[in-house]
Structure 1
């Protein structure tokens, strides 16, 4: 049984008249009758009683009509669903991000995207830059929010804006101070992240300090910004973080700007060059719009 046969059967079942069904379908009656006969032969059962008083459905025909109604309804639903996915109104989007992004513009981006696309399912995976790059290439995620950006011939990356580096220090350190000279932390243990793989945000921090003459600070490594802040809060060292990380309060930590700007760091939104789906392009557009609004 093919779709044409089912369509012809449904028309005859609804009209209970071969002539009217043929007219409705825009076909001649003989081909319609042949299709119905072929269907009955394939199913080895009569679907219609053909009598002098007219055409009626057999018991098998009634059951096929019920099933056919379900099938055509499912097909209509499927077409609407596929169309909505193709238009970006439904579907899913897999998002990978560096941990520090959650302190900045990322939550606002997600909120804005959800507001415009409430039926698109979003999944989230925190990763470092190396993980983001690998996951994009392997098609395990669709979007990467990286710091500062991903460089790969298969990936396109767009900046979302820069922000200054600031100091996260235990709240018992530098009492009464606001702006800090970077040489004030020369004897402190620097908490960096991540240690592997490199290069990473840790190298951004080390290079920023090197430009200020601090070339070999005492250091320990963690895997992410949250762990780094946790160590700072218990007095294990200080950390240099993006300014957005200091936008909230955290027990045991005070955030200080540097008296002289030691450098900046930026976020970017990336995706595979060959992925031009409505979902990906829509998210990138929202991300850039929100980032521009945030900077302004």
Structure 2
């Protein structure tokens, strides 16, 4: 018994005719009749009642019909699995540069272990760059801060995080439950120029009369936090940044936070369902 014979048999049963079955199977009517005749000869049993119109399966034919459909289903599933292995599904993700490297690596590492058949390509950028890449279909989804552009795409908020004050472990503020903006007055400040709320934070400090003593400016978050750990200065950072020897202290009157989530291309929504669900269920607070 060959797969093509099973396909021929199912085509005849479902159409009730050798002629229609042959059309569906894209073979000639004599060819499909001979194919089923060889099946009957192999099992020494009649599979079709040819006297009826439309043609109907016998008891043995009904058994082969049900089993044959299950066999073809399994074969198609295996073909799909093998095709996925041979040509991995590609997921192109744009990632906000100011996201914690630890958060990003935990999410993508866990996803890759769960879905090893999915190939991942990642692109860094600031929010405006990522929005442009998504609009131009250079990426399928972006992990970014939510702003006024978020309404233009299907989206899902994953978590929110406040901004806090990063200080060295030995700093006098390290043991406090919280600080106020006024406590930053004349403190050596390391400025993250890539901060998503950079202008808002700067304007707020100026409005509160806080005298800024900027000792370093950088667009590299890892370097800013390394310098905080080394005791060079303090910095305002998103709360989920975690670095050894750095303590994060809430700023009670800052009142700024950011919402982080996924935006995606509507055309790729069905292909992204697994990743979106995975990101939703991911633990972002560890």
TM-score scaled by structure 2? 0.60
The equivalent residue for 2:274 is 282
Instruction: Tell me the distance in 2 between the aligned counterparts of 1:157 and 1:224.
Output: 27
Task: For 1:210-249, list aligned pairs within 5 A.
Answer: 213-214=208-209, 217-219=212-214, 221-246=217-242, 248-249=243-244
**Contact between 1:157 and 1:271, CA under 8 Å: does it hold in 2?**
yes
- Could you say if the C-alpha distance between residues 26 and 273 of structure 1 is closer, same or farther in structure 2, counting changes exceeding 3 Å? closer
**Superposed structure 1 runs of 4+ greater than 4 Å apart:** 76-79, 81-85, 207-211
Offset at residue 176 of structure 1 (A): 5.8
Task: For 1:16-165, list aligned pairs within 5 A.
Answer: 26-28=27-29, 80=80, 84=84, 90-103=88-101, 105-149=103-147, 151=149, 154-165=152-163
The equivalent residue for 1:12 is none
Offset at residue 165 of structure 1 (A): 1.6
Offset at residue 205 of structure 1 (A): 3.1
Offset at residue 144 of structure 1 (A): 1.2
Offset at residue 128 of structure 1 (A): 1.7
**Contact between 1:143 and 1:271, CA under 8 Å: does it hold in 2?**
yes
TM-score scaled by structure 1? 0.59
- Could you say if the C-alpha distance between residues 226 and 277 of structure 1 is closer, same or farther in structure 2, counting changes exceeding 3 Å? same
Unaligned runs of 5+ in 2: 5-21, 32-75
**Contact between 2:157 and 2:261, CA under 8 Å: does it hold in 1?**
yes
Instruction: Tell me the distance in 2 between the aligned counterparts of 1:261 and 1:188.
Output: 16
Alignment of 1:200 with 2:196, yes or no, is: yes
Alignment of 1:187 with 2:178, yes or no, is: no
Instruction: Tell me the distance in 2 between the aligned counterparts of 1:226 and 1:105.
Output: 13
Instruction: Tell me the distance in 2 between the aligned counterparts of 1:157 and 1:208.
Output: 29
Match of 1:174 among 136, 160, 172: 172
- Say which SS state the counterpart of residue 94 (structure 1) adopts: strand
What does the per-residue CA deviation read over 1:85-111, in whole Å, with 9 as the maximum and x for residues that have no partner? Answer: 9xxx94111222124433564344324
Offset at residue 27 of structure 1 (A): 1.8
Alignment of 1:255 with 2:248, yes or no, is: yes
Offset at residue 274 of structure 1 (A): 3.3
The root-mean-square deviation of aligned C-alpha atoms, in Å, is: 4.2
Unaligned runs of 5+ in 1: 1-6, 8-21, 31-75
**Contact between 1:208 and 1:263, CA under 8 Å: does it hold in 2?**
no
**Contact between 1:112 and 1:286, CA under 8 Å: does it hold in 2?**
no
What does the per-residue CA deviation read over 1:258-279, in whole Å, with 9 as the maximum and x for residues that have no partner? Answer: 355633222111112333241x
Q: How many residues matched?
A: 222
